[in-house]
Amino acid sequence: MPEHRPPGGSRIFAGLDIGSSAVKVVLLDGDGSFAGHAVRVLGSDLRHAAAAALDDAAGEAGLKRPSFDGLVATGFGRSAWTEASAAKTEISCHAKGSYHDVRRPHTLIDIGGQDCKIIRIDGQGRRMGFRMNRKCAAGTGAFLEEAALRLRVGLETFDDLARSSTRDVEIGSYCTVFAAAEILHLIRRGVEMPDIVKGLFGSIVQRTMEMDLLEGDVVLTGGVAAHHPFLIRMFETRLGRPVIVPPRAQFTGALGAAIFALEAWSGRHA
């Protein structure tokens, strides 16, 4: 996605991903080039957060107001934005966005706020199958957020803490509630915080790898991947090969939604 502001009069297409923790927006111009993006913490008002994110993205694109030629909504809260021209599932949009960035067969892992998705994509960008963790917050951003609260440190410090770890610690509990108890047990044993944080990252890696076979090229997306490079390194160590992280890993679903919006308009005006 080459970065530029669209010229005056260019058509603009929006992808709106209302996730469980944040709202992401990607704007594309009529050529399919990147025009703007934005992210907002979700909060308790889905529509307010979505409107604010659309305003932010429109401002980045040089638009005086968020007026789009097409808008596709995705994410768990996609039905909240009734002004969308269409709504698509997260699986479809993440597959579409990931193939845009990685134009070959691959296995996509998207670690979100409340779920983890594994999607297998073929050489034509078709979704061949997927797995999704829906039962609890294990292996997700919420898992790390709860751990940060328990450790009384900011989540933004986790990556640096894990890098300074000097020993491997196994966090065996995937359940967020049980993991909190396990963290307290490790603290009582005198285990250093960097080692606990590294163990939490290791728990996410283990949980993800148990969900499905990670064949071929592996792509990691989502806010967790975008903000924790050390987690990427741990995946690479376990897999024994490099992992691909798109330049805007948190916006893959919104990108796919924007591409759907552009394709729908192009189909109608072919």
Complete domains list, the chain, with CATH: 12-93+251-268 (3.30.420.40), 103-245 (3.30.420.40)
| Rounded-to-integer distance, Cα 148 and Cα 157, Å | 9
| Rounded-to-integer distance, Cα 98 and Cα 253, Å | 8
What would the two tokens of residue 78 be?
A: 């996609």
| Rounded-to-integer distance, Cα 247 and Cα 242, Å | 15
pLDDT tens digits, one per residue of 163-193: 999 999 888 755 666 677 788 888 889 999 9
| Rounded-to-integer distance, Cα 110 and Cα 36, Å | 22
Average pLDDT over residues 229-251: 95
What is the model's pLDDT at position 246?
Answer: 94
| Helix, strand or coil, per DSSP, at residue 14 | strand
What is the model's pLDDT at position 119?
Answer: 96
Model-wide pTM > 0.85: yes
What is the model's pLDDT at position 183?
Answer: 85
pLDDT tens digits, one per residue of 65-86: 778 999 999 998 999 999 999 9
> What are the angstrom distances between the C-alpha of 186 and each of 5, 49, 67, 155, 270?
51, 38, 53, 19, 62
What is the model's pLDDT at position 180?
Answer: 75
Q: What are phi and psi of 143, to 5 degrees?
A: -60, -45
Between 268 and 74, residue with greater pLDDT: 74
pLDDT tens digits, one per residue of 118-137: 999 999 999 999 988 755 55
